[in-house]
Amino acid sequence: MDLLVNNAGFGLRDPFASSAVDDEQRLLDVLVTAPMRLTHAVLPQMVERGRGAVVNVASVAAYTPRGTYGAAKAWLLSFSRSLHVELRGRGVTVTAVAPGFVHTEFHSRMRVSKDGIPRVLWLRPEYVVRATLRAAARRRMVTIPSLRYRLIVALARLAPAPWAAAGTLTPR
């Protein structure tokens, strides 16, 4: 395999104190365990051939205190960065993408409203995919599609935690 994309994911609507622990476990299974195991399964062959790429779909939520979803995406981001460094010079590259809001089924499946999210913050999936594949081809460690989200992330990293967590999604 030349390219592995760890993309599967979903979000939980309820805050941690009132969520079902089985849902929290399912979240970790999909967002953390699955990418770890899939990456572990393909890397030995990639390294042996000296060729291959892994793309991990994280989120800007990785840079903010946004529940267990943000925590899991922070794990994926850190995992990607660590592997990127570990594999440097061996022909195999690992790239994390941290998108902001993207027009997909994500929010309807999560049963949260999209109404409060300003239009300017929405990205098209085609744009995110193109930016991601370009970043992987250039062997980038992390990519944040769009200038506006690069600015948001830069500010979120400096802001106090309650500010960085602003804009919590509301249930439908």
Ligand X SMILES: NC(=O)c1ccc[n+]([C@@H]2O[C@H](COP(=O)([O-])OP(=O)(O)OC[C@H]3O[C@@H](n4cnc5c(N)ncnc54)[C@H](OP(=O)(O)O)[C@@H]3O)[C@@H](O)[C@H]2O)c1
Choose among 164, 33, 4, 158: nearest CA to 96: 4
Name the one range near ligand X by CB under 6 A: 2-10, 85-93, 136-144, 146-154: 2-10
Pairwise CA distance, residues 130 & 125, whole Å: 9
DSSP letter at 81 equals: H
Residue 42 is which amino acid? Answer: V
Judged by beta carbon, residue 13 or residue 90, the one nearer ligand X is 13
- Number of residues located near ligand X, criterion CB under 6 A: 14
Judged by beta carbon, residue 47 or residue 121, the one nearer ligand X is 121
Judged by beta carbon, residue 30 or residue 47, the one nearer ligand X is 30
- When binding is defined by CB under 6 A, the residue of 104, 113, 168, 170 that contacts ligand X is 104
- When binding is defined by CB under 6 A, the residue of 1, 7, 45, 51 that contacts ligand X is 7
Query: Which residues on adjacent β-strands are paired with residue 94?
Result: 54
Choose among 35, 24, 18: nearest CA to 75: 35
Contacts with ligand X, 13-42, as mask; x by CB under 6 A? -----------------x------------
Contacts with ligand X, 74-103, as mask; x by CB under 6 A? -------------------------x-xx-
DSSP letter at 53 equals: E
69 is catalytic: yes
- State both tokens at 165: 């967590």
DSSP assignment of 88-137 equals TTTTEEEEEE---EESSSHHHHHTB--TTS-GGGEE-HHHHHHHHHHHHH
Cβ(115)–Cβ(107) under 8 Å? no
Name the one range near ligand X by CB under 6 A: 79-87, 105-113, 150-158, 163-171: 105-113
**Does residue number 149 form part of the binding site for ligand X (CB under 6 A)?**
no
Which residues form the interface with ligand X (CB under 6 A)? 7-10, 30, 57, 59, 99, 101-102, 104-106, 109
Active site residues: 69
